Structures are given as C-alpha cells and as structure tokens.
Amino acid sequence: MASPAISVLKRATSRDVRTEPFPYLHIENALPPEYYRRLAASFPGRSLMLDGQTREQNTAYVFSGVPTLTNPESQPPEWSAFMRYHLSIDFFRDIIKLFGAHFRAIYPDFEMRVGKKFADMTVGPRFEGAPWDIQLDCQFCVNSQVVTPSTVRGPHIDSNRKLFNALLYLRLVEDDSTGGDFEIYKLKHKPEKEEYGARGDLYGVEDNVVETAACIPYRANSLVLFLNSLNSFHGVSPRGVTQVPRQYINFLVECNFPLFPFHAKHVRY
C-alpha cells in the first residue's frame, strides 16, 4: 500500500511568495527526501516517451494524471496517491491560502463573476464538460532529447483561463546537461497584438520584448508556482545537447471563462 500523498506546498508559507514582477514562489527540496526519492524512482518517464518511437527534439510531451483517478492501477501506487491529492479541493485550498490575497488584488471581480467565494467554489479534475467552477490537472511531463541547443518554450504567458500553474522538477541523477531552467521575465514594453505568436506559440513573444528578472534552476525536487496574468511572462532557458529527458510534474488550475481579454483562441497546454 502506498504512503499517503504529501502536498508539494507542505513547506511553503506566505513569506515565500514574491510579488515582482508577478506573484510566484520557489521552494527547494519541496518534498521530504525519502518521499521524493520514491516518486522519482517510479516516475513513468520511459513508458511516457514510448521507447523506440521517433520523438521530435526538445519537445514537450504532456500526459494528464486525471485518468489515474478511475484507473489507479495504471500508475505506481505512490503516483496514484500523489495525483489523487493534487487533483483535489484540498490542494486548491493550499494554493488559495498562499495566493488568495494576491489573486484578489489582480482579479478583484473574480468571485463576483463565479458568483461564489473561493471557499464555496466547486473543485474537481479537468475533463471535457466538467461541471466544477475550478478545474485541476496534474500532468506527467517529459521534454525529449536535445540535438540542437534550444528552448522547449520561450517567453510566454499561459492561457487566459488558467489561474495558477506550478512545476515540480524530477531531474535525473545522470543528467549533466546545461540549461532547462525556469525563467521569470519582466516586460520591456507592453506587447502589441502583433508581437504575440513568436515561435508559433499563440501566447509567446520574442526575446526582445522581455528581460530576465529571476532564474530558477532545473534541480531535482524544486518547485515553482505562480499566478497567471497578462503580465506573467515566463519560459525555459536554452538546453544543451543531451539524450537525457527533462522531467517534471505540471500542476494547473483553470476556470470556465477568460480571466483577461486575449486575441488568440484558447489553447490547452
């Protein structure tokens, strides 16, 4: 039987939240060492990468953990329990405890638009036609091998239905590559409509629109969580040539309507 899941925010406090250039937090050694080691040892990276099949270089492959709820045997017990917790209302409450005031400051009419206080909102896993006010996903993510030094995703904001996003890194011990760090940007100027769409990314902008405000290294058991907004530009630093995949868990919190106006059609990522 798997041990009870531990929240990736167990060690986080309101003092860890930074507000510039947008609200975010970074926690090193987010999970207890032994618990993290068990998760890392059973991370289903190889099966997700489908060994033997051709993969585009430095490309993100994302696999939702939602199916684990109805088919827990599909993943190791530690991961089934982990997904169950991080797709629950308890995890959403963890986030609101830390970021609620910051979220209300940026989106003062959000609760009015939903018609409920955060405490009364329904929360559940994200799937097509889900009835919840707030939808969660917890994704296994693998970035493929790098043949030409490059970034898997440059400066961008997340979709305008996303409230929060987080990443927990599961860097492999044998990974001696460079780069692949999480970069937080501040704007040099407010992007014009025509400046979006860089690199084929509807929510992306060119490098010259932003400058780096913080860099969070790609390290094992390192967590970053941020509040999404029209100013929450972030990306991944270029990664050097390597055959070792970049591994992480992606946590996301969505609502059922756009948080801010945006010209591009909503894309789930």
Specify the pLDDT at position 265.
Answer: 42
Closest CA to 166 of 20, 5, 30: 30
Report the alpha-carbon distance of residue 169 to residue 194 in Å, rounded: 33
User: CB 85: neighbour CB atoms within 10 A?
Assistant: 16
Cβ burial of 150 (10 Å; 0-12, 13-18, 19+) is middle
Q: What's the pLDDT tens digit per position in 143-197? A: 999 999 999 999 999 999 999 999 999 999 999 999 999 999 999 998 888 889 8
Question: CA angle at residue 51 from 46 to 53, to 5 degrees?
Answer: 140
- 128, 113, 13, 140: CA torsion to nearest 10: 10
Hey, where are the domains in the chain?
Answer: 14-254
Q: What's the pLDDT tens digit per position in 211-258? A: 999 999 999 999 999 999 999 999 999 999 999 999 999 999 999 999
What are the helix (H) ranges across the chain? Answer: 33-41, 45-49, 67-70, 77-86, 89-106, 110-114
The answer to which of 126-130, 238-242, 262-266 has the lowest mean pLDDT is 262-266
Q: Which amino acid is at 104?
A: R
- CATH H-level, domain 14-254: superfamily: q2cbj1_9rhob like domain (2.60.120.620)
- Model confidence at 14, in pLDDT bands (50, 70, 90)? very high
Please state the separation of Cα 63 from the chain's center in Å.
13
